[in-house]
Amino acid sequence: MNDQPKIHAAPAVQPPFAEPGVPQIRNINWAGTWALYAKEVRRFMKVQLQTVWAPAITTLMFLIIFIVALGGSGRTVALRGEAVPFADFIAPGLIIMGMINACFANASFALMVGKVQGTLVDYLMPPIAVGELLFALVASSVTRAVFVGFALWGAMALWPGVHVTPAHLWAVLWFGLLGTSFIAFLGVLTSIWAEKFDHGAAITNFVISPLSLLSGTFYSIDRLPPLFQAISHANPFFYIISGFRYGFVAAADVNVLAASSVLLGLNLVLGGLCYTLLRRGWKIKA
């Protein structure tokens, strides 16, 4: 009989670190995505007087000029055969225009300032995927646009003679989301391309501002000559403003379903382009 004590094998010790090349976050990194989103929101909320309230007040000045200075309180606009009070016509366009400008300013700032200040590595080093990075940047920009939109809506709701009660809330939410998402993708694309602040300012001054001002915000395109009507239909901002206005006055310059399809397609195209460029590291990775 063997009296030797039995030797039990020691349990395998789990190494403190995973094997090289083995991913630890196998699905969506919710914590990392939320952290980046919260960081971007806190960034613009720390200076909310400049990023939220100032754009809202500046846009509100347009309403005051057109309603008070030009005596527009008794005017109406023919919109698809319906007479809409001028104040009710212009208010939704001004709200979404303010949201567009704020959304683009936020989306075009993040990566661009990282290039200028040399802090771009803070976006590239964390363990988040390209899609998660893009989602956080776009979502934070949409959030800033929503804040500006609510500030404008609250101010206009208190303004005498202006009615901004939604007639179709789904249209306000849907076109607000599609429009600001499209602008956010455009801002991220600008941020990827731009190498200095002058590049971002050039896109704002020569692309965003003209397209938003010439998109039917202050007028109905039915009164334009056929050539300029065709040009307006080639402007994506026209579909954003027309669809958003439909949510308030239940009338639009364009078919709402067609506008929704155009914006949805543009979102998919720009979103795919931003994802591809970020994944390849174009103008981002050395």
Q: Where are the domains of the chain?
A: 44-280
User: Percent of the chain having pLDDT more than 90?
Assistant: 53
> Which pTM does this prediction carry?
0.87
CA 191 to CA 236: how far, in whole Å? 20
What is residue 282's DSSP assignment? T
Place of tokens 């306000």: 172
Work out whether strand 76-79 and strand 82-85 pair parallel, antiparallel, or are unpaired.
Answer: antiparallel
Q: What is the pLDDT of residue 8?
A: 54
Non-local CB neighbours of 144 within 8 Å, separated by 6+ positions: 41, 44, 51, 52, 102, 103, 106
Q: How confident is the model at residue 228 (pLDDT cuts 50, 70, 90)?
A: confident
Q: How confident is the model at residue 72 (pLDDT cuts 50, 70, 90)?
A: low
Query: Other C-beta atoms within 10 Å of 132: how many?
Result: 20
pLDDT tens track for 36-45 = 999 999 999 9
Q: Which two tokens stand for residue 126?
A: 């964390």
CA 216 to CA 26: how far, in whole Å? 47
Q: What is the pLDDT of residue 14?
A: 56
Specify the range with the lowest mean pLDDT, choosing from 23-32, 58-67, 229-238. Answer: 23-32
Strand partners, 77: 84
| Cα separations in angstroms, 92 against 24, 36, 149 | 47, 31, 10
Residue 232 has pLDDT above 60, yes or no: yes
Non-local CB neighbours of 161 within 8 Å, separated by 6+ positions: 67, 73, 85, 87
Residue 99 has pLDDT above 70, yes or no: yes
Residue 158 has pLDDT above 80, yes or no: yes
Rounded to the nearest 5 degrees, what angle is found at the Cα of 97, between the Cα atoms of 61 and 45? 85
Q: Nearest-CA neighbor of 97 among 277, 244, 276? A: 244
Contact criterion met (CB below 8 Å) for 106 and 200 = no
CA 100 to CA 171: how far, in whole Å? 16
Question: Is 101 exposed, middle or buried, given 0-12, 13-18 or 19+ CB atoms closer than 10 A?
Answer: buried
At position 33, the amino acid (one-letter code) is T
Q: Rg of the Cα trace of the chain?
A: 25
CA 140 to CA 263: how far, in whole Å? 20
Q: How confident is the model at residue 235 (pLDDT cuts 50, 70, 90)?
A: very high
Q: What is the pLDDT of residue 82?
A: 78
Residue 1 has pLDDT above 80, yes or no: no
Residues in the chain: 286
Specify the range with the lowest mean pLDDT, choosing from 116-130, 132-146, 176-190. Answer: 116-130
Angle between helix 236-249 and helix 86-107 axes, rounded to 10 deg: 130
DSSP helix/strand/coil, 210 = helix
What is residue 107's DSSP assignment? H
Percentages of the chain per state (helix, strand, coil), in multiples of 5: 70, 5, 30
DSSP helix/strand/coil, 165 = coil
Contact criterion met (CB below 8 Å) for 174 and 246 = no
pLDDT tens track for 13-36 = 555 555 555 555 668 888 999 999
